[in-house]
């Protein structure tokens, strides 16, 4: 990687529904203490959640910026109503860069500079180039891509920065149905926002009792925590400039410290893995997609 494009850490959008006070305190600590360069702020999963945090939204942006963080506003991964389109327009009017996670957001932006989020499938050079020609200054690649594909896409990206998921449960899909509500015998329209009961999502198991996925409202994520560790240097050399940490109810300041030390070559990947295993308890570390295998595998 050239000296002109040093590797940066980003904190992805919070995918879970935490109380407004908990979310505010989380971001204020991130602003003051976390070794991250960029923070993505905004609702990705369900528009019903947005109103809860709205009273603290402006304050949180200001604190993050005063802490030296670049703030990018994330948008919904599944836009289904005129009201949600209007909300994107309101966010765009704030003057901050947006992360587009649905093509409806691309329509609203109309070629304005933006980040393409991981929910828009960029899996080849043609899609990369099309989006770059229409305003994408950064592309966050889908979590399912193997390292070989990431290297190819990053190699010819030019001025368009490439970002990859480096820590946290992998977002796999977003649906019209709310599985979280269904698990409580509720409908999506009358969900009572029960997703807020599970700060790290609701574990889904197979009929054999194996923990396999995580349910988060309308979203499905991996059960294990995907990490980029041993592979990080190879991806940096290929031109990946941004590495995303996904927020969880852990000490994310410590997670950022570990990754910053790894990027700076002050700690070995094995030591980072050991620390992360302690932090996440009994949940597995996974990296299968990166190696062209099933996502829940570990190499």
* pLDDT tens-place string over residues 177-208: 999 999 999 999 999 999 999 999 999 999 99
Count the domains in the chain.
Answer: 1
When the pLDDT of each residue in the chain is averaged and rounded to a whole number, the result is 95
Residue 32 CB coordination number (10 Å)? 13
Task: Tell me whether residue 63 is in a domain.
Answer: yes
Q: Is the pLDDT of residue 6 over 80?
A: no
255 to 3, 111, 168, 251: CA distances (angstroms): 25, 35, 10, 7
| pLDDT for the residue numbered 5 | 56
Does residue 282 register a pLDDT over 90?
A: no
Find the CATH number of the domain harbouring 55: 3.20.20.220
Instruction: Mean pLDDT check: name the lowest of 2-16, 31-45, 75-89, 93-107.
Output: 2-16
**Residue numbers of the domain that contains 157:** 8-171+224-283
Is the Cβ–Cβ distance between 142 and 122 less than 8 Å?
yes
**Residue 80, in any domain of the structure:** yes
176 within domain boundaries: no
Q: What is the pTM of this model?
A: 0.96
How far apart (Å, rounded) are the C-alpha atoms in residues 22 and 30? 12
pLDDT at 4 over 60: no
pLDDT band at 167 (very low <50, low <70, confident <90, very high): very high
pLDDT at 124: 96
In this prediction, residue 101 has a pLDDT band, given cuts at 50, 70 and 90, of: very high
Q: Considering the domain boundaries, does residue 129 fall inside one?
A: yes
In a domain, 197, yes or no: no
Please state the φ and ψ torsions of residue 233, each to the nearest 5 degrees.
Answer: -65, -40
Task: Decide if 205 is inside a domain.
Answer: no
Q: Note whether 106 and 134 are within 8 A (CB).
A: yes
What would the pLDDT profile of 71-91 be if each residue is shown by its tens digit? 999 999 999 999 999 999 999
**Strands, E assignment, 176-291:** 202-205, 211-216, 219-227, 242-245, 285-286
Assigned domain for 212 exists: no
- Asked whether residue 292 is domain-assigned, the answer is no
Dist CA 127 CA 137 (whole Å):
13
């Amino acid at each position: 990687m050239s000296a002109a494009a040093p590797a940066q850490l980003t904190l992805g959008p919070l995918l879970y529904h935490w109380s407004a006070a908990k979310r505010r305190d989380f971001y204020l600590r991130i602003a003051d203490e976390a070794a991250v360069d960029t923070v993505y702020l905004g609702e990705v999963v369900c528009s019903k959640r947005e109103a809860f945090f709205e009273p603290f939204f402006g304050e949180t942006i200001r604190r993050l910026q005063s802490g030296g963080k670049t703030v990018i506003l994330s948008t919904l991964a599944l836009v289904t109503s005129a009201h949600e389109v209007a909300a994107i327009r309101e966010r765009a009017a704030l003057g901050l860069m947006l992360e587009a996670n649905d093509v409806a957001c691309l329509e609203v932006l109309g070629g304005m500079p933006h980040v393409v989020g991981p929910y828009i499938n960029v899996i080849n050079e043609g899609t990369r180039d099309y989006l770059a020609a229409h305003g994408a200054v950064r592309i966050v690649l889908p979590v399912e891509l193997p390292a070989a594909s990431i290297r190819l896409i990053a190699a010819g990206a030019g001025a368009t920065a490439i970002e990859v998921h480096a820590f946290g449960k992998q977002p796999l899909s977003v649906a019209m149905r709310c599985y979280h509500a269904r698990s409580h015998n509720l409908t999506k329209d009358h969900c009572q926002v029960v997703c807020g009961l599970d700060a790290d999502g609701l574990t889904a198991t197979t009929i054999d009792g194996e923990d396999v996925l995580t349910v988060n409202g309308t979203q499905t994520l991996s059960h294990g925590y995907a990490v980029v560790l041993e592979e990080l240097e190879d991806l940096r050399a290929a031109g990946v400039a941004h590495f995303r940490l996904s927020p969880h109810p852990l000490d994310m300041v410590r997670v950022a410290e570990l990754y910053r030390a790894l990027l700076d070559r002050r700690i070995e990947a094995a030591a980072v893995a050991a620390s992360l295993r302690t932090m996440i308890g009994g949940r597995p570390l996974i990296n299968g997609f990166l190696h062209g295998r099933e996502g829940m595998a570990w190499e």
